[in-house]
Structure 1
C-alpha cells in the first residue's frame, strides 16, 4: 500500500533563480518527483500529486478543504496515509484546520522545510522521509493530523511555529511532541484523545478578526469593526485579561458577533473563574465572551471561521464546540 503525497510549494520546493528585480533569490519550482528524488533511503511507495505550488501565505480555507477531499479520495482508493508538503509560514494553521475535519483513521501528515535546497544542509529531504514513514506507521493511526519536522511528531492541535529560521522551529508548548522518529522508525510516545471531526458547512468562510490587546490599549480600533466581520478573536493578556475600559466594548461586540477570548502568551490556558476585577476572565465571560481554553489565537480563529461556515450556527453552539475542542 502506498502513501499519497500532495505538494503545495513552500521552502521545501524552492530552487535557485538568481537575483531578480524583485530582490528574491529562490522561487517555487520543484515538483513532487524532484522532491522524492532528493530523499536518500526513501523506502515508502509514494503516489505523488502536484497540486498548488504557492507560498503558504497564499493558501486559503477553500484550498485546504479541497485538499482534504482529494486526500480522502486517495484514502478511499487504498492509500495507507497522506503526506502534504507546504510552506511553514501557515503550516500550524493548515494542520489544525485539517485536524478539525479529517474523518479517517489513516494519518494525515504535514511537513515542510526551514532551509531551502540552495543552502548547505537543507532539511526538506529528511523531513519528507520522516513524514512518509510516519504516515505509513500503524502507530500513527487514529491521531488525526500530525506535523513532522526535525524528527519530531507533533499533534496538529498543539503545534506552533516558534522560531523564524531555526530547523527546530516547531514546538508544542503545552504538551511536547507526541513522538519522535528514531533511527528512521516513528515512535509514538503518547496518544492524545481524538475529537469527533467537524463537518464543514457550505457557506464561504466568514471574515474573522484577530485583535491582540496591548499595554495602554484604548480599544478604539475595536469600536470601528462594525459589520465588517462576522466574528472576533481577542488575544488577551495572561490568563484572559484586558484593560477595564475594553471590557464594555468587547461586551457590546459580543451581543452582535461571537467574540472568543484567548491568551496572547503562546502557552497555557485562559482561566474561567479565578479573577473577578473588571476586564478579568470572569468579567469578560459574564459579558458573553467565549473561553478558548488552551487554544492559541491562530487556532481559535481557524475553529471560529470553520464553525461560521454552517448556516444555522449559534453563539451557544459555538461556545459548546469550543468547550469540547479547547
Structure 2
C-alpha cells in the first residue's frame, strides 16, 4: 500500500509539473487569417458612408469637417480600447497654423498604437491621410470617398484585426503605429510634421511605412481585371521589403501587383505625391498602395456608392497580412 501511495503521489507531482510547464510554454504561431477575416466589406462600407458623408464637409485641413473627421477616428480607437502613444486619452498630434502655408488653420494628426510584445522599440507604421479638398466654390462637397476615405477606414479595420489578435494573446512582436495624417492635399504637411518635427517614435527605429491612398476603386486600365493593386516604392529602399510583400501576396491573394508607377521615369511622379514619401526621404522603407486614378478624382462625384467594397476588403486584408509579417519576423528588414 505504501508503494502504491508513493507512486500515486509521484504521478500527481509529475502531472502537476507538466501542467505548470504547459501554462508557461509559448503559444504556437497564430494564424493571421483568423484575424484578417475580421476586416469585412460590410464594416468598411458602414464606416465610409459616415466618413465620406456631407456631414464631414470634404474634410478640408483645419476646417470644421476635418475636426469632425479626427473625432470620428479617435472615437473608433477609444471604442476598441486601442491606446494613443502620445498620452492617455490624447490621440491628437497638434500642428499649429504657423506650420502651414497660406490661411490654413491649426490641424492635427491622429495616432494610435499597439505596443510590441518582444521588440516594442521597432515600429511598423500604417498611414493614410484623413483630409480632402473640402467644398468647391459653387458649394459642392468633395466627399473624398476613395481619396482617402478608403485608406482611412482600411486602417481602422486593420487596427481592429490587430487588437483582436492582441486580446487573444497574439500581440505583434513589433509595435504597430496607426497614423492618420492631415494636410496631405496641400503638400504632405501632416506626414512631414510627424517625420521632421515630432516623430513620436524615432525614425531610426521605424522599420517600414505602409501607406494607403486610394484603394477602393478600379482604374480604366484594369476594368477587365479587378484583382489588382498598384504598388509604388516597395523596392526603392529595401529589397527585403519588396520580397516580403511579394511573398505575402503569393501566399494569401495572388492578385496582380502593377508596378507601372514605380518606374523612376513615371511622368505622374506618384512616388513623391503621398505621405509615404515623408518617410522615404528619411531612409525608411515604404510601400504606397494605390488603385490608380479615375474620372472622379478630386471631384464631388468621388462618393461612397462608387467604392467596390469587395476589393477594398481584399486590399485591406493584404495590407494587414503584410504588416503582420513585418511585425512578427525574427529580424527587421534591412535598408539597402
TM normalised by structure 2 equals 0.28
Instruction: Report the structure, 1 or 2, having the larger strand content.
Output: 1
Indicate the structure whose relative CO is greater, using CA pairs within 8 Å and at least 6 residues apart: 2
Q: Greater Rg, structure 1 or structure 2?
A: 2
Instruction: Report the structure, 1 or 2, having the larger helix content.
Output: 2
